[in-house]
Amino acid sequence: MGIPLLLASCGDTGGPTAAISRTGHAATTTTSAISTTTTTTQPPLPITPITWTQCNGSLQCGTLIVPLDYDHPQGGTIGIAVERHLADDPAQRIGSLVINPGGPGVSGIDDFVNELDTLTPPLLDDFDVVTFDPRGVQRSDPVTCGETPGAAPGPLPDPVPQNAAAQKSVIANMHQFAADCEKASGAILPYVGTVDVAQDLDRLRQALGDSGLTYMGQSYGTLLGATYAQLFPTHIRAMVLDSAIDPALSFSQLTLGQAEGFEGVLVSFFSWCAATTSCAWRPAGDATTALLALIARSRTSPTAAGNGRTAGPGELYNALLAGLYSESDWPELGSALAADTAGDGAQVVAMSDHYAMDGSTNGSDAGEAIDCLDHPASRELAAYAQLANVFAQSAPVFGPLLAWGEAGCAVWPVPPTRTPAPATAPGSPPIVVIGTTQDPATPYAWSVSLAGELSKGDLLTVNGSDHVSYFYSACVRAYVQGYFISLTVPPVGATCSD
C-alpha cells in the first residue's frame, strides 16, 4: 500500500503496518470545495438521542446514529462510538468540549486518557469532555482491508523502490491492497471522508444539546475542524486548531511540506546528537549520508532483531518517524540507530511496532481510506518515480518516502470527495489556530495560512519543535483555557514556547 499523510497527533502516532503513515460518491456539498448548502432532496434523518451507559470507570459511552450517505439520508445508517467525561463541577457547566486527537484513522476513544490527563482542571470542571471514533475507525463501522488484527507482525516492504522492478512490485502491492479494501469494506469505503465526518460532528453537537460547537482539533483534527467551519460557520461557539493543515494545499504540496518538515527536524536531531553525550549514534562524516547508507544496507542485509524479526528499510523509516515527533524521543532514536548500526535491530523494530500500532487496530486501513477521499492524487503512476527525485532535492531522506506515499491513492477504488480550497468560514466567531515554528508533521506555514484564510482566524505561535503544542506548553494550555471558558482570544502576535 502507499504512504499517506503523516498526520497523527502526539496522542497517537500510528501508521500502517504495510508501509508508513501519518498521513464513489460525490461530496454532499461543494462550493470550490465545500458549501453550506446541500443537494439532498430527501428529508434529513431526525437526530436520535444518545443513550449513555457507564464505561471505563467514571466515563460514559454511547452511540450516535448517522446517515451512511448524506446525499441519501433515508438510506442506511451507521453508529458512531462516543465517549464522554462529565463536567466535574455541574453547577459551572458551560457545555460540551469535543476533541479530535488527529490521525486520520486514530481512535478518539483509545486516545481519550491522554486528553483527560492533559486538560486543565478548569476545563474539566466546566465542560463535558467528549470524543469519538470517526466513521470507518475502530468502533465506528471500521474499514478493514483483509488483515488479521493482532497477527504477529511480518517484515515491512521497502516503501522507497530503488529500481524499475521494485517500483513494479510496489505498485502491484498497492493495487492488491486497494482491491482487498474494496472487497472487505466496499459498502462504507466511499463515505469515510472528512466532509462526511464534519456532518457527523454537527449531528453530535445537536445530540449533545449544544447550540454552538466547542471543539479542539489536533493535527488531522484541524482539517476536520476547518471543514466543519466552512460547512457550519454559524454553529460554532469556540474552536481551537492545534498544528494545523492548510486545506487549500494539493496532495503534493502537503506531502512535500511534511517531507521538508521532518527533514528539518532530522537535521536538528543530527546536530543534537553531535553535541551531547545523551545520543548514542555518532556516525563518521555527514550524518545524512550515513543514515541513507544504513537504510541502503538494510535493503540487502536487514538487521537481526530477535524472535525471527529483522529491521529492514520499512522498520527504519517507521522508527525515524516515531522518534522525530517530539524532542523527548530523540535519545531513544539515537540509541536505536546506534544499536542497528552495530547489528542489533531490536530497538528499531520496537519503535516501528509502536508507531504501526502492532496491527491491533484498523488505523492504517482507515487512514489510507480517509486520506484518499480527502486528497486528490494524480493517477499517472509513472510520474511518482520522478516526483520522488524532485522531493529528494530538498528532503533526501523523507522526500522519496512521502512522494511514493501519494501513489497509494492513485489506485484507490473510489474517487475523492473533498477538493482543496481555502477555509474562509464566513460568519464564524473567532477561531484560534496554533502553529509551532519547527513542527515536523504540520509545518508552521500551514497554520499561518489557515489563520489568514479564515474570516476570523487568530494565530498563536509556539517557538519549538514538538507536534501538537497543547501537550507540551503550559502557556498554550493557559491561552486555550481562557478562550474556551471566557471566549477571550490570545492577543495579536502572542507567542509561547513548548
The catalytic residue among 353, 467, 473, 498 is 467
C-alpha cell at 400: 522519496
Three-state DSSP state, 348: helix
Closest alpha carbon to 239 in 102, 425, 104, 111: 425
Alpha helix positions (H), 119-158: 121-126
Which helix H or strand E contains 463, and what residues bound it? Answer: strand 457-463
The catalytic residue among 439, 458, 466, 498 is 439
C-alpha to C-alpha distance for 124 and 58, rounded to whole angstroms: 13
Q: What is the edge-to-edge ordering of all strands in the sheet holding 457-463?
A: 53-55, 59-67, 77-85, 127-132, 95-100, 213-218, 236-242, 431-436, 457-463, 495-497
Dihedral angle of Cα 255, 257, 262, 266, to the nearest 10 degrees:
130
C-alpha to C-alpha distance for 416 and 404, rounded to whole angstroms: 18
C-alpha cell at 31: 462550493
C-alpha neighbours within 13 Å on the C-beta side of residue 52? 13
C-alpha to C-alpha distance for 443 and 258, rounded to whole angstroms: 7
C-alpha to C-alpha distance for 364 and 121, rounded to whole angstroms: 34
Partners of residue 96 on adjacent β-strands = 128
Known catalytic membership, residue 25? no
Strand 495-497 and strand 457-463: the pairing is parallel
How crowded is residue 217: how many other Cβ atoms within 10 Å of its Cβ?
28
Strand 303-306 and strand 309-311: the pairing is antiparallel
Known catalytic membership, residue 375? no
Side chain identity at 95, as an amino acid letter? Answer: G
C-alpha to C-alpha distance for 135 and 185, rounded to whole angstroms: 12
Evaluate whether 188 touches 180 at the Cβ level (below 8 Å): no
Q: How far is CA 147 from the centre of its chain?
A: 21
C-alpha to C-alpha distance for 457 and 422, rounded to whole angstroms: 12
C-alpha to C-alpha distance for 79 and 464, rounded to whole angstroms: 39
C-alpha cell at 84: 464522554
Known catalytic membership, residue 353? no
The catalytic residue among 21, 219, 326, 449 is 219
Provide the 8-state DSSP code for 75. Answer: S
C-alpha to C-alpha distance for 374 and 259, rounded to whole angstroms: 19
Catalytic residue numbers read 219, 439, 467
